[in-house]
Amino acid sequence: MNVRLWYALAPLVLSSLCMENRGIMAPIILPDTPILRTVDKMGFINIGQIFTYAQNIIVLLQGTKNPEQASKLAAAFDLQLPMPLIQGNKRTNRFAIVPYGDEYLTVRELAALEENGTGDPVLLEKALKFAIDDYEKLSQDYVEEIQTAKDYMTKLIDHWCTARNRPDSILRDWGSIDNSECESMHKTLNSFSILTRFLDDLLPFLRDLIENCPISHKKYRESLKKN
């Protein structure tokens, strides 16, 4: 698939990834508020960037079937891989990037070990630090860009949480934390269970956001025609 077609399909692919991630969940219509219209009109929503960001987060959350994708992601964002990627992945159909002992696991797999009590507490603690560091590196460019619209995004997150009936979503904490407050994020995401819940809300939020920004969609399509 050529690059232009790939990015043309970005919103559709993000939608399908979210459905795979949390079960069938159709996009919702967010309240047509002045805040949403302002965010859309002022160009804060970069669909291509959001798609790439979501793809990267999904690799962290549930791995990838493509080892080359995992390797390139680790190299591009300087993710720590203490052992060779192929050696550390015991499976051949799914490649993870979070080190746990002598192997790599996904955030979702580590959450399962944590929740059912079969994981090693020391190894889980070390793995969680790796996972949070990876998340911060993967998010840095995206978070820096939306800092200029932080007040808007915080309110949009609140609207989304209400529309999706997620009153206790950790996205609310994410929206209120300053980009430089890494320590606060570590305190908030203090278990794999919480990290998984957070990422499971983040992906549908991003999908719903781009689905509700027609001006951004139009700009995105126009940018593809120029390339």
State the number of CA atoms in the 13 A half-sphere of 26 facing the CB.
Answer: 2
Report whether 120 contacts 101 (CB < 8 A): yes
pLDDT of residue 3: 38
**What residue type is assigned to position 9 of the chain?**
L
Please identify every stretch of the chain with a pLDDT value under 70, giving residue numbers as ranges.
Answer: 1-25, 144-148, 174-186, 227
pTM for this model (two decimals): 0.84
Partners of 95 in the beta sheet? 64
Q: Got the DSSP string for 59-79?
A: HHHH-BS-HHHHHHHHHHTT-
C-alpha span between 64 and 44 (Å, rounded): 29
pLDDT of residue 50: 85
Report whether 144 contacts 179 (CB < 8 A): yes
For residue 95, the 8-state DSSP code is: B
Quote the strand ranges of 81-220, DSSP E.
98-100, 103-105
**What residue type is assigned to position 99 of the chain?**
P
177 vs 25, 60, 78, 108, 117, CA distance in Å?
Answer: 27, 21, 23, 24, 31
pLDDT of residue 47: 82
- Backbone φ, ψ for residue 100 (5° rounding): -140, 105
pLDDT of residue 45: 80
- Measured in whole angstroms, how far is the alpha carbon of residue 78 from the centre of its chain? 17
